[in-house]
């Protein structure tokens, strides 16, 4: 640009524009160079060279001999991309136009400007990945890059502790503050600089190494990982000209899941070899919309581009504010091209405070109320500027005032908004400079404070003076020095601390615990409830018990006994935490609502004593009880419909609540310690090889089957017998058999997963006996004889668990018993039958009540 008679350059940041402006003044003189940004305008009358932000530069180039656009690849940025795309398409110099940007922009430039000459400037130095490094072991002349103000401050404070101090550079700083902070680093007062990604554009520093404290950032919509091109833009600050540089990550900056902070192999290759995926689209928005009406204006701003490599830009903050305010009643009064244009200019006020659409829109409304009547009065603007002319406060307070004064500086730069514009703009710049000096002083005071002694010795025994902070991994530290760990709400002193230090560290931790625990409790209630779990009758977090759960006998609202560590919380946060845990627990106990329903019915006097007794038995058994233990003989038949409405099933072998056989209630009962039997988390239909019977199952030979599925199998068997009985009733008396025989299809049991032999054991528990069909004689042909089943009710001594062999021997003396006694297995003779029956009866399933169950199933 200096080789031409005049020129204009557009930059992505006012920091970069100011840097080039200062360099140009040294070459051409103060009267020849102008600086134009949104909130500052230094324009000598004879200026021929203009350094501008992209938004402030003339969109056609201003008729200068030379025009340049820096970092043109920002055209792909969702928020500001349409500005850079417009300048790329239209800003032209009379003699030369230069578009500076990443090689990823090349295919789009070829598509949009076919006659452009493409020149590549290779990097002379080598950029190498050096892996992870501890903050305390960073080499001199290093930069640490973070993506939040909190992390920038944390890194700077840690570097002060380990290495004596660090300069701080953020995009929110004023140019004066930024320049003074950079000067600290450049002149060697500090060997480290902590910055946001603003360091990646235009800051030329004597850096040897760039360390990333994070690899993801919030881009205004979501938190996302940096692209390789963005990583390279930042890492490229290391090394200069022919001096090589390196980049890497900081140890201990892992993700919330615990994964370490690392570059992938693909990212390392792309950064070291400068190979990145080319851009495919640039964002575009109509730069010269019509101002006939607000509706027409919005339509033009949302108009889609016609070129294939351009795409409509997402709504930026200015368009979002316009669309937000167009629905307000006062918008109907904005008529005419002049008023619409003026309103759009008000909506285009940048959101320097970064407060979002709605708060920023309210500020624009207040501004418009004054602008629609003409100019802002000088007295009014001066009063607003004077309100911000205060240098007291901490770093965050000063940054907030600087953001606010930038808004007023922008307002004062408008040619038709403020009376006595030049004077008011000068006042705004003066206040910004004063605030910048104060902010630089605060930053230096906080982050550049050399210490030559260890932290503990320098602070002595004054535990209250220790600035204790809680790290993301649960460590409690003082300026980067670990003093202990917080597991849940329990503080433990660092085990590596010496005996002499332990008392002081414990006092420091306990001094800070109330505030830290309050913050931790608030975070837990707002974001961390998903990390809680119920185990052994307690609510636990991070392996520590927060509260013991005491369930009342009526299964009503549980009572929480908070852990001792939570007693250190102040009363207000402690009550909020207890209320929040109670509300969370109530939601977790929802699967037990069927059991609560039974408990409510058991307290109902109208249910009758017999039904209430059965309900209490069922509740004590946690939803499943065998018939012989249920006391069913005392329950009147007319009470059964009442119990069935409550979800109680009267099965052949068990009385149960089917809703409590699902995985969720069984897991919850086990977690609360209300059911100490083994747990089957998935409540599978059939289990094999269980040494102890899980809750909700009954034995079936070498397997165990869930009681509701066992009931389905037995119900099908009783239906088969009922059909056989009906068929017998239709025969003449002389043809009726003493014990009807029938066939049972075991397909249902086998489809559930029960083996055929074990299905027979289950049926045997309900009184069914198998009679094997006779085998074919040697040499005989034809299908084998089918197997048949018979049924008889079990005797009282069998229901009480006595041996079946004894019962069989007593009945064996009766005439004809041998013919009618059902056979099991491959038995053919009496002794074998008795032996097989004994093996059946000593199997896993022993229960009674089958005779009554048959009556229930048949509706008798």
CA-to-CA separations, 127 to 191, 226, 234, 237, in angstroms, rounded = 20, 18, 12, 10
Q: What is the pLDDT of residue 124?
A: 72
684 contacts: CB under 8 Å, gap ≥ 6: 706
Q: How far apart are CA 252 and CA 260, in angstroms?
A: 7
Query: pTM for the whole thing?
Result: 0.51
Over residues 152-178, the pLDDT tens digits come to 888 888 887 777 678 898 877 777 788
Q: What is the pLDDT of residue 804?
A: 41
Give me the residues of the chain with pLDDT under 70, please: 164, 201-203, 220, 241-242, 253-259, 449-467, 478-481, 496-510, 690, 735, 794-860
171 contacts: CB under 8 Å, gap ≥ 6: 13, 15, 196, 198
Q: What is the pLDDT of residue 455?
A: 38
Q: How far apart are CA 829 and CA 823, in angstroms?
A: 9
Question: Could you give the angle at which helices 378-387 and 421-447 cross, rounded to 10 degrees?
Answer: 0
Q: What is the pLDDT of residue 820?
A: 37
Q: How far apart are CA 50 and CA 40, in angstroms?
A: 13
Q: How far apart are CA 1 and CA 499, in angstroms?
A: 67
112: number of Cβ within 10 Å: 18
Over residues 601-642, the pLDDT tens digits come to 888 888 888 888 888 889 888 999 988 888 888 888 888 888
Sign of torsion over alpha carbons 713, 715, 718, 723:
negative
Q: How far apart are CA 146 and CA 149, in angstroms?
A: 8
Q: What is the pLDDT of residue 138?
A: 87
Q: CA 458, 459, 461 angle in degrees (round to 5)?
A: 125
Q: How far apart are CA 103 and CA 107, in angstroms?
A: 9
């Amino acid at each position: 640009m200096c080789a031409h008679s005049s020129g204009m350059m557009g930059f992505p940041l006012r920091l970069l524009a100011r840097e080039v402006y200062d360099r140009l003044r040294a070459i051409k003189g103060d009267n020849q160079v102008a600086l134009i940004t949104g909130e500052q305008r230094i324009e000598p009358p004879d200026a021929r060279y203009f350094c501008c932000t992209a938004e402030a530069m003339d969109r056609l180039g201003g008729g200068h001999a030379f025009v340049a656009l820096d970092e043109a690849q920002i055209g792909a940025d969702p928020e500001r991309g349409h500005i850079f795309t417009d300048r790329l398409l239209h800003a032209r110099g009379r003699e030369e136009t230069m578009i500076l940007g990443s090689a990823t922009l090349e295919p789009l430039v070829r598509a949009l400007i076919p006659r452009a000459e493409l020149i590549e400037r290779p990097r002379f130095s080598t950029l190498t990945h050096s892996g992870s490094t501890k903050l305390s072991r960073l080499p001199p002349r290093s930069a640490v890059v973070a993506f939040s103000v909190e992390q920038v401050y944390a890194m700077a404070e840690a570097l002060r502790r380990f290495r004596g101090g660090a300069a701080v550079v953020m995009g929110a700083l004023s140019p004066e503050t930024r320049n003074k902070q950079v000067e600290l680093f450049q002149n060697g007062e500090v060997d480290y600089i902590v910055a946001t990604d603003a360091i990646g554009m235009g800051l030329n520093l004597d850096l040897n190494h760039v360390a990333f404290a994070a690899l993801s950032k919030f881009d205004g919509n979501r938190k996302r990982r940096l692209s390789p091109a963005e990583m390279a833009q930042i890492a490229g600050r290391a090394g200069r000209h022919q001096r090589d540089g390196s980049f890497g990550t900081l140890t201990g900056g892992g993700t919330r899941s615990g994964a370490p902070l690392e570059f992938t192999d693909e990212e390392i290759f792309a950064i070291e070899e400068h190979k990145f995926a080319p851009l495919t689209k640039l964002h575009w928005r109509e730069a010269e919309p019509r101002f006939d009406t607000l509706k027409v204006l919005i339509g033009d701003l949302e108009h889609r581009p016609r070129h294939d490599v351009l795409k409509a830009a997402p709504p930026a903050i200015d368009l979002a504010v316009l669309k937000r305010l167009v629905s307000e009643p006062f918008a109907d009064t904005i008529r005419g091209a002049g008023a619409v244009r003026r309103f759009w200019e008000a909506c285009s006020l940048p959101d320097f405070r970064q407060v979002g659409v709605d708060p920023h829109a309210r500020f624009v409304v207040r501004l418009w109320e004054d602008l629609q009547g003409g100019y802002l009065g000088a007295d009014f603007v001066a009063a607003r500027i004077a309100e911000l002319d205060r240098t007291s406060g901490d770093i965050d307070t000063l940054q907030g005032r600087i953001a606010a004064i930038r808004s007023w500086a922008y307002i004062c730069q408008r040619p038709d908004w403020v009376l006595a514009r030049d004077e008011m703009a000068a006042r705004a710049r003066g206040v910004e400079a004063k605030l910048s000096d104060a902010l630089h002083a605060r930053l230096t005071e906080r982050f550049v404070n050399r210490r030559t002694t260890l932290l503990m010795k320098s602070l002595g025994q004054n535990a209250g003076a220790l600035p204790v902070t809680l790290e993301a991994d649960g460590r409690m530290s003082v300026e980067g020095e670990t003093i202990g760990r917080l597991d849940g709400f329990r503080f433990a002193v660092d085990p590596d601390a010496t005996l002499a230090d332990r008392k002081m560290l414990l006092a420091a931790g306990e001094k800070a615990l109330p505030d830290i625990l309050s913050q931790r409790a608030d975070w837990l209630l707002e974001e961390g409830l998903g990390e809680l779990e119920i185990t052994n009758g307690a609510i636990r977090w991070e392996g520590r018990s927060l509260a013991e759960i005491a369930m009342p006998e009526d299964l009503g609202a549980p009572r929480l006994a908070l852990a001792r560590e939570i007693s250190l919380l102040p009363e207000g946060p402690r009550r909020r935490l207890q209320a929040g845990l109670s509300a969370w627990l109530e939601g977790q106990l929802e699967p037990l609502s069927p059991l609560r329903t039974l408990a409510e019915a058991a307290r109902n006097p109208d249910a009758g004593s017999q039904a209430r007794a059965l309900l209490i038995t069922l509740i004590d058994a946690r939803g499943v009880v065998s018939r012989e233990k249920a006391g069913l003989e005392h329950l009147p038949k007319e009470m059964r419909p009442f119990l069935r409405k409550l979800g109680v099933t009267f099965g052949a072998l068990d009385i149960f609540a089917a809703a409590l056989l699902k995985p969720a209630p069984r897991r919850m009962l086990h977690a609360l310690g209300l059911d100490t039997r083994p747990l089957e988390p998935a409540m599978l239909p059939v289990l094999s090889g269980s040494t102890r019977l899980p809750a909700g199952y009954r034995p079936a030979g070498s397997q165990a089957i869930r009681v509701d599925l066992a009931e389905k199998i037995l119900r099908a068997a009783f239906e088969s017998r009922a059909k056989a009985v009906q068929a017998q009733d239709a025969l003449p008396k002389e043809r009726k058999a003493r014990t009807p025989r029938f066939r049972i299809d075991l397909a249902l049991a086998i489809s559930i997963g029960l083996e055929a032999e074990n299905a027979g054991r289950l049926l045997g528990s309900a009184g069914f006996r198998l009679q094997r069909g006779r085998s074919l004689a040697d040499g005989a042909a034809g299908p084998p004889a089918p197997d048949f089943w018979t049924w008889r009710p079990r005797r009282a001594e069998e229901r009480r668990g006595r041996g079946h062999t004894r019962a069989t021997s007593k009945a064996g003396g009766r005439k004809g018993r041998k013919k009618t006694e059902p056979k099991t297995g491959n038995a053919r003779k009496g002794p074998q039958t008795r032996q097989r029956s004994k093996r059946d009866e000593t199997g896993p399933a022993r229960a009674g009540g089958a005779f009554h169950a048959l009556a229930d199933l048949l509706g008798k």
